[in-house]
Structure 1
């Protein structure tokens, strides 16, 4: 029987007598600008910038936008964009005014976000 397991599809390797995972293949990420997403709601772009490379996050690209859209609804992204850092100290009332929502709506969305993150 012929072994079809070639170097390109192995999941583990033996290097200097140590078994471990193979090095991941480099992935070419095409960085984009906000203008490349004319149909994307602005709140997602603001969250992407807030969590972007300046703060240790990934660059704006198709994959990053897809992850943000998977993680956050448009309502949640609207709330999250106001939570810039632990020291922001914004109250739900201030966020509600900025988002043109009631304090109860903002509180409910924040509760949902807290439940999703396990806190």
Structure 2
């Protein structure tokens, strides 16, 4: 009978690396999410600052928190400030016309998406 020996040391090392990946990603992900949130907040504030009638720019902030499946940031006008209460009109307009000078805030997240995806890919790639 012939004995066959296969060197699996590299596969073992890769498997070990892949098992360690989730905790490493979990530790690195908050910084990536925070950077994306700051970029979105800054773009949103810049657009809001151009509005003559709606002074909501200083109210735009973000909160970050750990979730059961990752890390998240909520970005937008903070309703604790009076000016933020007009954000809906500033973005989408009023029932009787007027407003709508800032546009849909989804565009700020859409603009950040490619950079965020690259940052996550870089994080995972660096850890392999």
The TM-score, its normalising length taken from structure 2, stands at 0.24
Higher strand share: 2
Max radius of gyration: which structure?
2
Q: Which has the higher contact order (CA 8 A, sep 6+)?
A: 2
Higher helix share: 2
